[in-house]
């Protein structure tokens, strides 16, 4: 069973469909462990998503269930994407939402890679009422 409050893996989630080639994406990198593509609603000049090629609902699920080769291969792919995009000099931010309080929308583990401008504070204050 997946380890997170998000329930079992949904084979119809949008990133599963992208992995199966059912929905297009603007691909920036792919290897046996990971696929990276531009976010459809970018929040920075560079906003890329890196997803593992496996049925992992969240970081909690991935870190508990993925085998060692997948964990190493996935995180090496994240670094490769940043390097291939030429982001290492100016810097970048990695972010992974996990579960309800984080606002995770897509129940397939993914890392956001942001770059291309000063990224400000790590956490933006919640809007009034949140």
The catalytic residues are 110
Q: Is 34 helix (H, G, I), strand (E, B) or coil?
A: strand
Is residue 104 within the footprint of ligand AMP (CB under 6 A)?
Answer: yes
What is the torsion angle, in degrees rounded to the nearest 10, for the CA atoms of residue 32, residue 34, residue 35 and residue 36?
Answer: -140
- For 37-55, letters b (16+ CB in 10 Å) and e give bebeeeebebbbbbbbbbb
Is residue 10 within the footprint of ligand AMP (CB under 6 A)?
Answer: no
Least separation in angstroms between residue 2's CB and ligand AMP is 15
Is residue 40 within the footprint of ligand AMP (CB under 6 A)?
Answer: yes
Q: By C-beta, is 21 or 103 nearer to ligand AMP?
A: 103
Q: Dihedrals φ, ψ of 124, to 5°?
A: -85, 140
Is residue 25 within the footprint of ligand AMP (CB under 6 A)?
Answer: yes
Residues that bind ligand AMP in the complex, under the rule CB under 6 A: 14, 23, 25, 39-41, 49, 97, 103-106
């Amino acid at each position: 069973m997946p380890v997170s409050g998000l329930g079992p893996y949904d084979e119809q989630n949008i990133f599963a469909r992208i992995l199966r080639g059912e929905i297009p994406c603007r691909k920036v990198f792919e290897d046996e462990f990971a696929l990276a593509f531009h976010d459809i609603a970018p929040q920075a000049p560079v906003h890329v998503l890196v997803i593992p090629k496996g049925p992992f609902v969240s970081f909690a699920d991935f870190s508990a269930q993925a085998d060692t080769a997948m964990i190493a291969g996935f995180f090496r792919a994240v670094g490769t994407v940043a390097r291939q995009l030429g982001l290492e000099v100016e810097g970048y931010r990695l972010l992974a939402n996990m579960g309800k309080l984080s606002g995770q929308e897509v129940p397939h583990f993914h890392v956001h890679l942001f770059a291309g401008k000063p990224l400000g504070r790590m956490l933006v204050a919640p809007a009034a009422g949140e």
